[in-house]
Amino acid sequence: MKIALIGYGKMGKLLEIKAKERNHTISKILKNKNWTSQDLMDSDMAIDFSSPDSAVDNIHKAFKANVPIVVGTTGWNKDFDKVKNWCNEYNGAILPSSNFSLGVNIFFEMNRQLSKIMNRQKSYSVKIRETHHTEKVDSPSGTAITTAEIILEEMDHYSNWLSNSSNYGNNLPIIAKRQEGVAGTHEVIYESKIDELSISHKAKNRDGFAIGAIIAAEFLYNKKGLFSMKDVVKF
């Protein structure tokens, strides 16, 4: 595939390396916001790791160019319905994910099953902890939000999630920290008066995120519609 990279930070540079390792070509590197749909015309696929304030516009440009897009940028979920409508309108193809790591997607599925079990155990409360590098813009992380949404689907006694609050009420707590050199750590903790149960995922480096995004792009190639990593890993 000829892949256009949208955003060229640490992830963009790593994607360039991993794409070439899997025998793909980098057709364009779009570092700034002022590019147009015409810039994608010689590409088979776009992969966006840009910023929350530009991701939605980037997706729209890809749809207009009739180029499938994999989106790893997080923090734009409020516009998800708009993007879904555009996908239908342009007969486009998109695969967004808060995290492309295979391990993290296994972590998601384990939490889905565990939260079903723990919903019947009313003596336990639950919270999410996440830690990332200091350069990460959005807080809490998209992965933490996805984890929270999975738990909220299965557990009755939380109405929503809330991050770094002094009073969570009946909201699911997400405790977000930023620490130098941390690729990404997520932990879900169930706690009662007598014991504690936890499940966690710790990224050792960013390679899993980049390789997963390339695999997602390979899956999306020549498809139409809205997909997720669940389609890729076939849970």
Annotated catalytic residue: which of 61, 127, 136, 201?
Answer: 136
pLDDT at 75: 87
pLDDT at 98: 87
DSSP E strands, 31-145:
45-48, 69-71, 93-96, 125-132
Distance, in Å, from the CA atom of 141 to the CA atom of 7, rounded to the nearest integer, reads 18
132 in catalytic set: yes
pLDDT at 148: 97
pLDDT at 138: 85
pTM to 2 decimal places: 0.81
pLDDT at 36: 97
Distance, in Å, from the CA atom of 54 to the CA atom of 4, rounded to the nearest integer, reads 16
pLDDT at 201: 96
pLDDT at 150: 96
pLDDT at 117: 97
pLDDT at 85: 98
| Residue ranges in the chain modelled with pLDDT below 50 | none
136 in catalytic set: yes
pLDDT at 196: 97
Annotated catalytic residue: which of 61, 132, 186, 201?
Answer: 132
